[in-house]
Amino acid sequence: MTSNDFTQLASNPKADGNSDLGPARFLKHTAVYGVGSMLLQAVNFVLLPLYTHYLEPSDFGILEILNRTGDILVVLLMANGIRAATFTFYCQADSNQARVRNASTVALVMWSGCLLGLLFSIAFAPVIGNALGIENDWLTILGLAAAISQMLPALPMALMQTRVESIAFVWSSVFTLVTRLSVIVLCVVIMRTGVWGVLMGTLVANVGAGCILSFREFSKSGFRPDLTTLFPVIRFAWPFVPGGLIGFAMMSGDRYFLLNSAGPESLGIYSLGARLASVVTTVCFAPFFKVWSASMYTVYQSPNSSQVVGQMFTRLLAPSVFAGLLVFLFRSEILQLLASPEYSGAATIIGPMIISSLLITAQILGDGAFYVYRRSRTKLCVTIGSTIVALVLYSVLIPLFEMWGAALAVVLSSTFYASATLMTAQTVFRIQFEWGRLLALAGITLILAVTSNAVSPDATGIAIKVALAFAYPVFLWKVNIISQEEKVTITRAFLTIRRFLRRLTGFVRRSEG
């Protein structure tokens, strides 16, 4: 990928001034998103020991199943489709006025959905709570309302992302996270309200952030929904509802089967392992993808798009592979640091869940063709087939092997889903995958992961794992799996960071003097 290709990567003339997103700006915005992701994980790491010390595994399981059930309701409210419509209609608008109208129309659909979802939660809380084994209807309502509230800040933050306003995006995330953390600590640690406090913190943070960010967005540009765009937005978004429900059954159905087979305590332990594995995508994939998702529309239609998309596939996937290796190497140490001994069983399923996360990352990258060429119905067919496979695996393996069966079923279903997505996407847009680099990366990572299992769990073993972690990128560099152009980019980024740290150190010393 040349410098000209990288400039084309985000040179969207319709993206409100972001037509000059060359290598430096791409990396800058990625770095900013990366800081935001690390802050998110920092908050999550603070919350995890809080959860595992103030919530029993069974309570953690109840929290997990409430969150997952709330996600079902969010899918029914077209949240996935609305977010995708925000990117598609905003990025492909041909004027500032059209962008304002499209954003306002999408907001109108989203706000109406939130109101309907809240009314539904109040009306059907007894039925839902009874099905989940939750006796208190108000707890069910609070859990569903907390899930719905996630939609409120999602739209203005999606608009920031389409305009590649990375700093504003991160500040908005920080505000939401700090608010959430503060309320949760107050309710769980001081007031000892358990699951109630966790859900209340989420609800307060999302409502506050949603109101403030929406006011910021529409006070600048005005709120001017276009009724002629209303039905095209809904028509674009509705296939994501059945697709989202089917996808939810595939991605979260394991929790319900495990709850039924092993109870909330096993579900709580399993969910902790899954959360730790999700660090792989949150820290290393999400920052890059936030920039890529706003710029891929132009890339897919550039002259050498097939090669460029293939290169980006490797470059976006590789950091997640490295992060996955790190989490796997130090999984026992991480659990000892963050969780009480009751959760130690989570170590056994972290590895399979990391593999699943990497497969889903590949699947997400393959989805780009469906979004760019508006083939959401094709994506729906792929998701239906993959979900059928997943549900069969869940129904067979989880009753037999419980947590291990759930982890194995997730890996097998993710493999099928990623393969089906990429093969189908190839019929829409032909990607020139870098098979040599991808296979080398996977093989080296697998060898190191298997080797680490033979290391003893003492201080010497930790030192060996640290050495393996450092040797991994050095080896990739030396054998030229990292290309020369990537080496130049990484070196420049390193030098920029070093200069920044030196300036920061000098500023601190002058301040102290």
3-state SS string over 123-180?
HHHHHHHHHHCCCCHHHHHHHHHHHHHCHHHHHHHHHHHHCCCHHHHHHHHHHHHHHH
- State the Cα–Cα distance between residues 380 and 218, nearest whole angstrom: 33
Please state which of the ranges 129-138, 280-289, 469-478 shows the lowest mean pLDDT.
280-289
* Averaged pLDDT, 248-263: 89
The yes-or-no verdict on residue 17 having pLDDT over 50 is no
- State the Cα–Cα distance between residues 5 and 3, nearest whole angstrom: 5
* Averaged pLDDT, 261-272: 90
Between the alpha carbon of residue 112 and those of residues 77, 159, 378, the distances in Å are 9, 18, 28
Cα-Cα-Cα-Cα torsion 157, 87, 111, 70, nearest 10 degrees, comes to -80
The yes-or-no verdict on residue 20 having pLDDT over 50 is no
Q: Which tokens go with 392? A: 């069969």
Q: Which tokens go with 508? A: 């601190």
Residues with Cβ within 8 Å of residue 137, at least 6 apart in sequence: 125, 126, 129
E strands, 325-467, are none
Can you say how many angstroms the Cα of residue 386 is from the centroid of all Cα atoms in its chain?
Answer: 20
Residues with Cβ within 8 Å of residue 149, at least 6 apart in sequence: 114, 202, 203, 206, 207, 210
- State the Cα–Cα distance between residues 323 and 196, nearest whole angstrom: 33
Please state which of the ranges 183-197, 403-417, 486-500 shows the lowest mean pLDDT.
486-500
Question: For the chain, what percent of residues have pLDDT higher than 70?
Answer: 87
Q: Which tokens go with 305? A: 């798009």
- The pLDDT of residue 425: 92
User: For tokens 């029993």, what's the residue?
Assistant: 56
Please name which of 298, 342, 454 lies closest in space to residue 59, comparing C-alpha atoms. Answer: 342
Question: For the chain, what percent of residues have pLDDT higher than 90?
Answer: 29
Residue 345 is inside which H or E element, if any? none
Q: What is the CA radius of gyration of the chain?
A: 23
- The pLDDT of residue 1: 37
Structure confidence by residue, pLDDT tens digits, 113-138: 889 999 999 999 999 998 888 888 99
Which residue has better confidence, 183 or 353?
A: 353
- The pLDDT of residue 13: 35
- The pLDDT of residue 2: 35
Please state which of the ranges 11-20, 164-173, 437-446, 502-511 shows the lowest mean pLDDT.
11-20
- The pLDDT of residue 508: 57
Between the alpha carbon of residue 84 and those of residues 65, 87, 273, 317, the distances in Å are 26, 5, 29, 21
- The pLDDT of residue 123: 92
The yes-or-no verdict on residue 110 having pLDDT over 80 is yes
Please state which of the ranges 105-114, 351-360, 411-420 shows the lowest mean pLDDT.
105-114
Mean of per-residue pLDDT scores for the chain? 82
* Averaged pLDDT, 418-429: 93
- The pLDDT of residue 40: 61
- State the Cα–Cα distance between residues 257 and 183, nearest whole angstrom: 32
- State the Cα–Cα distance between residues 197 and 364, nearest whole angstrom: 33
Most confident of 73-87, 172-186, 466-480: 466-480
- The pLDDT of residue 330: 92
Which residue has better confidence, 287 or 314?
A: 314
Q: How far apart are the first and last CA of the chain?
A: 47
- State the Cα–Cα distance between residues 27 and 211, nearest whole angstrom: 31
* Averaged pLDDT, 19-34: 53
User: For tokens 């990484």, what's the residue?
Assistant: 490
Q: Quick one: pLDDT band at residue 36, thresholds 50, 70, 90?
A: low
- State the Cα–Cα distance between residues 90 and 295, nearest whole angstrom: 12
Q: Which tokens go with 46? A: 């603070």
Structure confidence by residue, pLDDT tens digits, 138-185: 999 999 999 999 888 888 877 777 776 767 777 777 787 788 888 888
Q: Quick one: pLDDT band at residue 225, thresholds 50, 70, 90?
A: confident
pTM for this predicted structure: 0.72
* Averaged pLDDT, 315-333: 91
- The pLDDT of residue 203: 92
Q: Which tokens go with 130? A: 């009874």
* Averaged pLDDT, 29-50: 63
The yes-or-no verdict on residue 12 having pLDDT over 50 is no
